[in-house]
Amino acid sequence: MILLDTANAHTFLEGFRFIGDHPGFLAHKALEQLELSGAALGIGAAVALPVGVALGHLHRGSTVAIGASIVGRALPSILLIAIFLTILGIGFVNNMVALAVLATGPVLTNAYAGVDGVDRDVTDAARGMGMSRLQMLARVELPLALPLLFTGIRVAAVTVVATAPIAAIAGGGGLGDVIVNQASYRLQGVLGACYCVMALSAGVWLALLALQRFVTSEGTTRRVAGTT
Amino acid sequence: MIAAGGPEPVIPNFGHGSACVTGNHLFCWSWVREHWSDTLEPHLVQHAELTVIAVAIGFAIAFALALASHRVRALDQPIAIVAGLIYTIPSLVAFQILIAFSGLSNTTVLVPLIGYSLVILYPNIVAGLRSVPPGVLEAARGMGLERRQVLWRVELPLALPAIIAGLRIAVVSTVAIATVASLVGDRGLGYPIFLAMRLPTPFKTEIYSAGALVVALALAFDLLLVATRRALVRWT
């Protein structure tokens, strides 16, 4: 754990120089990271969304839903990656599974809270109009739960993109490869890759926030508590 | 710099242990017994210290910011956006960038941990202060309480459940994020995990035992806060 280079204010600018000198290389690494993150988020959401929505619809299993978020926060990303490393070995699959597990927590909890929290008067009215369970879910509960569903996915996406660099320790590829390899890329390379990761996760956060504003109706957002 | 350098033993103990250790079986109690006092315990204590210091400082800053934005509502939106953006900074990146500034010191580890706990605590404190029913505030004012008295005697006590809820999230998250701090130095329970996973064959016992301690530590802090809540909040 010995730092090779010493740094000053100039070094921080060198990080940007590195980005300017190697745009193609960094873009390639960023794309690799987005691939890993996208696959993990997709799998995590595909598992967690239906479970959360179903539990919320039935108003059951709040312990499971809340427990998922607590466990999700308490399990360190590096530990998950290490555990799956011992099971699945080094490489893409190990990291994808570890990151997918990380993604399930916020998606599940928010999907549950969103559907469970739909006003009982509204669901009663829907049932009174003769809607079936599926119709109620598709036309009433899901649209009303959309803001929270989206919040869950946004939080999960940022978590996954931000954690992906750690996956480089276990052969995950992406910008993390540069960040954890100061011996090859020197400090300016590490810093340049760090800036890219920060831009990437902030960009994902802002893009999903904008998409969320665009997709969800204004009438449904008022009941959502502002969570980051 | 991530790669372990210097004269440290690459594997604290792999190779000259029991048959279970050399065979890298699923879990070896003998290793845990043998290395509790030289590996697991000191890192556990260090991890707990880092968490407590980071959350305490983060709470002090978040509390001051929340009081400010409670007084001046216009501050809330900008603070919330900046806080959201801070939360998107990956912990590994924050540690790596600070390392260039402050080296392999406690500052490097603590600054991001304080930042993340502050970002979690701030919205919870603000939400707690806002959740006080207007009728209660009117009654307090009607009884002749001044603004400061309303804050300390009415609003803050009523906000306590929300504040403790925020502290629970902050502590549990900080315990988890502090494991990443091990990537920048020999600090906390992440370090044995990190060393064990860097081996050509990841050493299972070390990963599982240190990992279990991380989760147990988070759980212990959480239970402590739940007990505090029970002791302090007697009206719900």
CATH number where A64 lies: 1.10.3720.10
What pLDDT does B186 receive? 81
Please indicate if any CB of chain A lies within 8 Å of the CB of B180.
yes
Taking the C-alpha atoms of residue B223 and residue A42, their distance in angstroms, rounded to an integer, is: 34
Is A6 contained in some domain? no
3-state SS track over chain B: CCCCCCCCCCCCCCCCCCHHHHCCCCCCHHHHHHHHHHHHHHHHHHHHHHHHHHHHHHHHHHHHHHHHHHHCHHHHHHHHHHHHHHHHCCHHHHHHHHHHHHCCCHHHHHHHHHHHHHHHHHHHHHHHHHCCCHHHHHHHHHCCCCHHHHHHHHHHHHHHHHHHHHHHHHHHHHHHHHCHHHHHCCCCCHHHHHHHHHCCCCCHHHHHHHHHHHHHHHHHHHHHHHHHHHHHCCCC
Q: Is B235 exposed, middle or buried (0-12, 13-18, 19+ CB in 10 A)?
A: exposed
What b/e string do you get for B79-118 counting C-beta neighbours within 10 Å, with b at 16 or more? bbeebbbbbbbbbbbbbbbbbbeeebeeebbbbbbbbbbb
| Residue B20 is assigned to a structural domain of this protein | no
Tell me the C-alpha distance between B11 and B19, whole Å.
Answer: 16
CA-CA distance, A30 to A24, in Å (whole number)?
10
Q: Which residues contact B174 (CB under 8 A, 6 or more apart)?
A: B50, B51, B54, B55, B58, B113, B116, B117
Q: List the single best residue of A79, A101, A201, A213 to mutate versus B (max B Cβ within 10 A).
A: A79
Q: Write down the mean pLDDT value for chain B.
A: 84
* The pLDDT of residue B49: 93
Query: How many separate domains does chain A show?
Result: 1
CA distance A191 to A38: 24
Q: For residue A49, give every residue at least 6 positions away whose Cβ sits within 8 Å of its Cβ, in sequence order, or none.
A: A107, A108, A111, A149
Rounded to two decimals, the ipTM of the complex is 0.75
A75 to B176: CB separation less than 8 angstroms, yes or no: yes
pLDDT of A3 strictly over 70: no
Tell me the C-alpha distance between B128 and A222, whole Å.
18
Domain at B134, CATH number? 1.10.3720.10
Lowest mean pLDDT segment, chosen from A81-90, A120-129, A132-141, B14-23: B14-23
Instruction: Say yes or no: B1 contacts chain A, CB-CB below 8 A.
Output: yes
**What distances in angstroms separate CA A42 from CA A45, A123, A162, A227, B96, one per listed residue?**
5, 30, 16, 22, 29
pLDDT at B56: 97
Q: Which amino acid makes up residue B90?
A: P
Cβ-based contacts of B99 with chain A (< 8 Å):
3
Among B6, B83, B96, whose Cβ lies nearest the Cβ of A228? B83
Whether residue B224 is contained in a domain is answered as yes
- Tokens linked to A50: 């239906």
DSSP per-residue codes, A165-212: GGGGGGT--STHHHHT-HHHHHHHHHHHHHHHHHHHHHHHHHHHHHHH
pLDDT digits (tens, 9 = 90+) for A174-201: 888 888 887 788 888 888 898 999 899 8
Q: Which of A30-39, B42-51, B99-108 has the lowest mean pLDDT?
A: B99-108
Q: What domain range is A132 assigned to?
A: 13-221
Judging by beta carbons within 10 Å of its beta carbon (0-12, 13-18, 19+), is residue A64 exposed, middle or buried? middle
Which member of B2, B4, B176 has the closest CB to residue A76? B176
> Within a domain: residue A212?
yes
Ranking A162-166, B59-63, B162-166 by mean pLDDT, the lowest is: A162-166
The mean pLDDT value of chain A amounts to 84
A88–chain B Cβ distance below 8 A for any pair: no
Q: Is residue A4 part of a domain?
A: no
- The answer as to whether A2 is a domain residue is no
User: Within a domain: residue B3?
Assistant: no
| DSSP one-letter string for A28-88 | HHHHHHHHHHHHHHHHHHHHHHHHHHHHHHHT--HHHHHHHHHHHHHS-HHHHHHHHHHHH
Q: CB distance from A212 to chain B under 8 Å?
A: no
Q: Structural domain tally of chain B? A: 1
Section B178-190 average pLDDT: 83
Residue A125 pLDDT > 60, yes or no? yes
Q: Is A171 left (phi over 0), alpha (psi -120 to 50) or beta?
A: left
The separation between CA A182 and the C-alpha centre of its own chain, rounded to angstroms, equals 27
Would you say residue B198 lies in a domain?
yes
Write out pLDDT tens, residues B112-159.
999 999 988 998 999 999 888 999 999 999 999 998 899 999 999 999
A-chain CB neighbours of B186 within 8 Å are: 1
pLDDT at A40 over 80: yes
A124 inside domain: yes
CA distance B172 to B191: 18
- With contacts defined as CB-CB under 8 Å, which chain B residues touch A166? 90, 92, 180, 183
What domain range is B182 assigned to?
A: 28-232
In a domain, residue B221? The reply is yes
Confidence of residue B213 (pLDDT cuts 50, 70, 90): very high
Report CB contact under 8 Å: A1, B185: yes
**C-beta of residue B177 within 8 angstroms of C-beta of residue B218:** no
Which residues 60-89 in chain B show a CB within 8 A of chain A?
80, 83-85, 87-89
Write down the pLDDT at residue B68.
93
Which residues does A51 contact at the CB level (< 8 Å), separation at least 6? A108, A111
Residue A2, token pair as written in the block: 């010995």
Q: Select the residue of B87, B99, B207 nearest A82 (Cβ to Cβ).
A: B207
